[in-house]
Amino acid sequence: MKNGWTMGLLVSLSLTLPASAQVSLYIGIAPPPIVVESPPPPPPVVGMVWVSGSWVPQGHHYRWVAGRYERPPYPGAYWSHPHYDHYREGWRYDEGHWDHEDHGHEHWRAHDNGHGHD
């Protein structure tokens, strides 16, 4: 029960952090397979970027968050998708975030399937 409360608190905190902050947390079970979504409709406004859906931890389970359009927060921003990496402690969830190419982050995250790389 305590783990569920802690996980809920961490996920809640992740939703209140600024877009530039990245949250990582460990989950004991592997994420489900990615849901194949229909191709996105045209953007509602020029300049918006499609952010693919992903599984988000919620307690001892995962919740699918459908894809959506978002406006990049600054020129040159790209979406680094959330992903999971497997470690001894369990599956580590790294939430998605906006990033800038000159920050030195691995650009592969913007093109992976949400589960990290093997």
User: What residue spans define the domains of the chain?
Assistant: 2-33+51-111
Above 80 in pLDDT, residue 100?
yes
> What mean pLDDT comes out for the span 19-29?
64
Answer yes or no: pTM beyond 0.75: no
What are the residues whose beta carbons fall under 8 Å from the beta carbon of 9, sequence distance 6 or more?
none
pLDDT class of 46 with cuts at 50, 70, 90: very high
Above 50 in pLDDT, residue 27?
yes
* pLDDT, greater one: 93 or 5: 93
- List strands edge to edge, sheet with 83-87: 24-27, 90-94, 83-87
Q: Give whichever of 6-10, 49-53, 56-60 has the largest mean pLDDT.
A: 49-53
